[in-house]
């Protein structure tokens, strides 16, 4: 358990909510592997909540759409019409590639 506590301190120093969410999810996997299922569940829920509330940005809507697609998680474009357009274009491109 001491290792998890030390890792949690390091996670708090990351600052970026998306990095904190990613690191927290990895701690959840570690707890799973160590069969500490109560800790694992708590960490997975915390990571989910961090991912859900993360505000992300990028140099362009196109670049942000590509990064979001790599998350392998559900997300919403919100009110950003430019991002929604880029996501639709990316979805169409991927659909054509899949045949």
C-alpha pair distances (Å), 74 with each of 8, 13, 48, 71: 25, 26, 11, 8
Could you read off the pLDDT of 43-86 as tens digits, one per residue? Answer: 777 777 776 666 666 788 898 888 888 876 777 887 889 999 99
Is 16 a residue whose pLDDT tops 50? yes
Q: How many helices (H) and strands (E) does the chain have?
A: 5, 0
Cβ-based neighbours of 47, under 8 Å, separated by 6 or more: 21, 22, 24, 25, 28
Determine the Cα–Cα distance for residues 95 and 41; give it in Å rounded to an integer.
35
Question: Residue 14 is encoded by which pair of tokens?
Answer: 């990351």
């Amino acid at each position: 358990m001491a290792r998890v506590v030390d890792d949690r301190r390091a996670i708090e120093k990351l600052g970026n909510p998306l990095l904190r969410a990613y690191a927290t999810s990895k701690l959840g996997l570690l707890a799973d592997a160590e069969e500490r299922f109560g800790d694992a569940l708590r960490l997975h829920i915390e990571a989910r909540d961090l991912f859900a509330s993360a505000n992300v940005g990028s140099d362009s809507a196109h670049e942000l759409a590509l990064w979001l697609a790599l998350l392998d998680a559900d997300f919403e474009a919100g009110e950003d019409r430019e991002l929604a357009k880029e996501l639709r274009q990316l979805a169409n491109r991927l659909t054509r590639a899949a045949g």
